[in-house]
Structure 1
């Protein structure tokens, strides 16, 4: 398996490189620049399935092979064929033997979809504590948030210069760049209509992903985490019924007949799977109130389509507009909030306050609140 997954050791091309070069729509992911390539580093790359994590890693490997003295100094392994941490430890020890045999001082090690391996963190922690990886750069990817089950905290003080990078579907700015180099309002409207259909998934845009496959991946991950897919679907349906209104765990629980604790557990599960984002309430005093109702948003138009397909629920265009503004502001500033009193502000981040209207502007808002009509949304998203 090791030899098959590292064809560059034998001066052979990787299949993913060949597929990438044939794609109609392609780009080098900007998130690659967020990784640390200085030994010792333990990088975490998290994001939903089919968002391009593997392809991005393979493109980085192609670049690294131009810099390293030996191709054996770059190691890739897809962990979906490994059952538990013992199997992962065996794979890593086999590579370390190769590294010693080739007299390599350092290496770039990539472990793809490691979160699918039971207790994966034990293998890495063991090798790090023994100093076996002290001169290497280790990058692990996962579709299930690596913070799930407190695994993230087990590496406190053991990550060196490592960083955590979240990979999400393309922003509207990057998506627009696939079609045009400069911004033109009329073209932005056309591209935005396409974006609402395809989301930021390059795989869908290139015809290598179907929307129903996203549902299948999500259900598989939910089962892997010993949760009920039926209950998850009911909760998602209740969420879509009430969107975009603020919700409490109590109201969600009551809608489907479960406890508030269970509702919270499933909301946090969807969040860990990068499907959903919680938008908390920010008071007029500038304080965040985590106990107040929060907005629950879906993070990409294609994810929203998949959830609508799964639950049999429709999603209004106005709701998608609001979700997109909230998600893009969160990506830009790392946080996003909402406010509601005599007037509502859908998104607050980085000193920006935005209220989204699907039609034309109505009502009066404070001067510091930017009110976006539907036609204004593409330009606003592009500007972030």
Structure 2
């Protein structure tokens, strides 16, 4: 039992269909079942689909079934249906691949399948990071001028396939995907828009949920819930203040978008401007988050923009005259591409 998750518009369905093509070639059509669960309305309907697939498998004497469930989190309680068929033993020789766009409905689900996943894996599908962006464009990473030009393009398109391919509705697609997830999880798109607008006014500075709530006119708990929802659908990350070696989760936090296109889409939707300094900081935050799993900031007499793993990084548009501790790296804009490329191979 394999789980594939990540934001919408990153190519999960395309990848699944390419897998279907390969499985049809290797195992034959009787062994492959693909269910698009975006069009399944209820657990009862999902159960009927399972009964048909399992019955067909039995009638045709299939030895190994490849069951591909696309956007499984669209169906509330989907895991109960799947768990039932696992427990009955009819899927003992099956390979199941389930995809989803939200950590709410999928990432925490493996806890509901203890001892039932066999050799299954978790796969996260995210927009391309900058090193992968360079790779797919066939640019030699040792060519500074070409890398610098490509970095400017990356700041415009981010790593979503549609944007990379210059599709005209790329920005609309990521916005609409977020709105769709908002409806699906019983939240208000208008309130999401208002909260995003307030957040965009403050980034890249640290902010409190209370300050955002005052601007929007809701409770700080509501702001927290919406920010957590945005994190669950891979739209934003949260960097907490680190002090004394521990995250200070109750203090002001930095909220950052996890891809340049997401930031631009949010700015366009809320009629806010794109802050160049914020965009650069977010790119570094996201790459370090992917590398180390957590990202923080530090503030004492001076503020350090990004802290993760062994790195302490301050972002500057020009060479700073201010003195920083020796273990703090000061990155200028033109130094960021090289840093991101080196980060991939860093231990």
The TM-score bracket by the shorter chain reads over 0.9
Output the TM-score relative to the length of structure 2. 0.92
Structure 1 Cα separation of the partners of residues 242 and 152 of structure 2: 31
| Equivalent residue number for residue 96 of structure 1 | 54
Gaps of at least 5 residues in structure 1 are 1-41
Structure 2 Cα separation of the partners of residues 338 and 378 of structure 1: 21
Task: Indicate the RMSD between aligned Cα atoms, in angstroms.
Answer: 1.9
For residue 65 of structure 1, report the CA deviation from its aligned partner.
Answer: 4.1
For residue 255 of structure 1, report the CA deviation from its aligned partner.
Answer: 1.7
Structure 2 Cα separation of the partners of residues 52 and 92 of structure 1: 25
For residue 318 of structure 1, report the CA deviation from its aligned partner.
Answer: 0.9
Choose which of 237, 245, 255 in structure 1 pairs with 2:197: 237
Poorly superposed stretches of 4+, deviation over 6 Å: none
- Going from structure 1 to structure 2, the CA distance change for 1:113 and 1:239 (only over 3 Å counts) comes to same
Deviation by residue 1:89-140 (Cα, 9 ceiling, x = unmatched): 2112211122222322222211111111222222112112222222222111
3-state SS of the aligned residue for 2:323?
A: coil
Q: For this pair of structures, how many residues does the alignment match?
A: 341
Structure 2 Cα separation of the partners of residues 357 and 159 of structure 1: 47
Give yes or no for contact 1:148–1:272 (8 Å, CA) kept in 2.
no
- Going from structure 1 to structure 2, the CA distance change for 1:362 and 1:79 (only over 3 Å counts) comes to farther
Matches within 5 A, 1:29-178: 42-68=1-27, 70-147=28-105, 151-178=109-136
3-state SS of the aligned residue for 1:365?
A: coil
Give yes or no for contact 2:33–2:68 (8 Å, CA) kept in 1.
yes
For residue 276 of structure 1, report the CA deviation from its aligned partner.
Answer: 0.8
- Going from structure 1 to structure 2, the CA distance change for 1:147 and 1:224 (only over 3 Å counts) comes to closer
| Equivalent residue number for residue 226 of structure 2 | 266
Give yes or no for contact 2:3–2:106 (8 Å, CA) kept in 1.
no
Give yes or no for contact 1:45–1:167 (8 Å, CA) kept in 2.
yes
| Equivalent residue number for residue 297 of structure 2 | 338
3-state SS of the aligned residue for 1:295?
A: strand
Choose which of 188, 205, 217 in structure 1 pairs with 2:177: 217
Give yes or no for contact 2:70–2:100 (8 Å, CA) kept in 1.
yes
For residue 360 of structure 1, report the CA deviation from its aligned partner.
Answer: 3.0
Choose which of 152, 161, 181 in structure 2 pairs with 1:193: 152
Structure 1 residue 379 corresponds to structure 2 residue 338:
yes
Structure 1 Cα separation of the partners of residues 323 and 122 of structure 2: 41
Structure 1 Cα separation of the partners of residues 301 and 268 of structure 2: 35
Give yes or no for contact 1:114–1:120 (8 Å, CA) kept in 2.
yes
